[in-house]
Amino acid sequence: DTEVTQTPKHLVMGMTNKKSLKCEQHMGHRAMYWYKQKAKKPPELMFVYSYEKLSINESVPSRFSPECPNSSLLNLHLHALQPEDSALYLCASSQVAGAYEQYFGPGTRLTVT
């Protein structure tokens, strides 16, 4: 199984809402990532988890809160987002942190109203 799954596929939320994005992989990978991708732009790294510990936070605002409950799951908790946070949020995994071959999920299309 070389698949990274993400739920939900689409999410619309208001600026006062709290929601969570979920990501799962069963490849035994020990690194998981969150990226943000705006339309017609490249993915931008947000967070890296290595062996379930946060190893990189790319100065992401605190309204985004990542969580790695176990080696297969990665969550991104959202609270008090702004309309400019609307984007495609991609989850990825790799065997270890720093690997150049990362496996990406299809993403969650987030719209903040």
Partner 1 sequence: GESVGLHLPTLSVQEGDNSIINCAYSNSASDYFIWYKQESGKGPQFIIDIRSNMDKRQGQRVTVLLNKTVKHLSLQIAATQPGDSAVYFCAELSGGTSYGKLTFGQGTILTVHP
Task: Pick the binder of partner 1 from 76, 78, 81, 92 (CB under 8 A).
Answer: 92
Instruction: Write the CA distances from 17 to 11, 33, 56, 59, 101, integer angstroms.
Output: 11, 24, 26, 22, 35
Q: Which is nearer to partner 1, 30 or 79 (CB)?
A: 30
Instruction: Quote the least distance from Cβ 97 to partner 1, whole Å.
Output: 7
Closer to partner 1 by CB, 18 or 58: give it.
Answer: 58
**60 touches partner 1 by CB under 8 A:** no
Instruction: Label residue 59 exposed, middle or buried (CB < 10 Å: 0-12, 13-18, 19+).
Output: exposed
Residues 33 and 96 sit within 8 Å (Cβ to Cβ):
no
Q: Report the interface residues with partner 1, using CB under 8 A.
A: 4, 40-45, 48, 55-56, 58, 90, 92, 96-107
